[in-house]
């Protein structure tokens, strides 16, 4: 397993629309494993392939990351070609993002979602979610369409965050 580099917004690669996964193979399974390791290392609860520079429609979500206990049978989700089939209600949540480190913003999303996806064995599944899990699924799937939580914020707040992220990217580039 490897820790992957997470792209920092406003990296233009984060704005690209991801392509459907057409083949589930060992390379994709390794990518999923590396993404999980990267997400846990960064103390996140989700990560989308575009955030590590891969334009594939795959996301991982583990809302119990870092928790001392996880509900029985609850495992991290690896979702390939996820697609929402139902959304309802509204829920405001203060979100952060591994591609926008240290920043938070209030975003309103659907309170309940239903989604179909494939797993790493090519089996189709349906997941229903509410609360944090619904927010995380919507947040990560936005990445597949080139959208980040900052796109939901006011232009003023987005511009302040953009300046901070550009400074962070410059500092990281100078230190690399």
Report how far Cα 87 is from the mean position of its chain's Cα atoms.
18
Is 140 an active-site residue?
yes
Q: Are 44 and 37 in contact (CB under 8 A)?
A: no
Backbone angles phi, psi at 125, to 5 degrees: -135, 165
* Sheet with 112-118: strands ordered across: 46-48, 58-61, 77-88, 112-118, 124-130
Find tokens 């993002």 and name the residue: 97
CA 72, 75, 81, 82 torsion-angle sign: positive
Return d(Cα 111, Cα 134) in angstroms, integer.
Answer: 7
Alpha helices of 3-130 — where are they, by DSSP H? 26-41
Return d(Cα 139, Cα 129) in angstroms, integer.
Answer: 13
Q: Which of 88, 106, 124, 140 is catalytic?
A: 140
Residues with catalytic roles = 140
């Amino acid at each position: 397993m490897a820790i992957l580099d997470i792209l920092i917004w406003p990296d233009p690669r984060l704005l690209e629309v991801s392509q459907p996964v057409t083949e589930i193979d060992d390379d994709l399974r390794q990518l999923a494993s590396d993404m999980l390791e990267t997400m846990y290392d960064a103390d996140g609860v989700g990560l989308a392939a575009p955030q590590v520079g891969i334009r594939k429609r795959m996301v991982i979500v583990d809302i119990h990351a870092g928790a001392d206990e996880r509900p029985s049978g609850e495992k991290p989700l690896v979702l390939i070609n996820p697609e929402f089939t139902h959304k309802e209600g509204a829920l405001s949540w203060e979100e952060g993002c591994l591609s926008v480190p240290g920043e938070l913003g209030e975003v309103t999303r659907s309170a309940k979602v239903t989604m179909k996806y494939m797993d790493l064995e090519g089996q189709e599944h349906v997941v229903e979610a509410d609360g944090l899990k619904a927010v995380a699924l919507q947040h990560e799937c936005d990445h597949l369409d080139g959208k980040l939580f900052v796109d939901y914020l006011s232009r003023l707040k987005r511009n302040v965050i953009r300046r901070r992220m550009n400074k962070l990217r410059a500092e990281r580039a100078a230190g690399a």
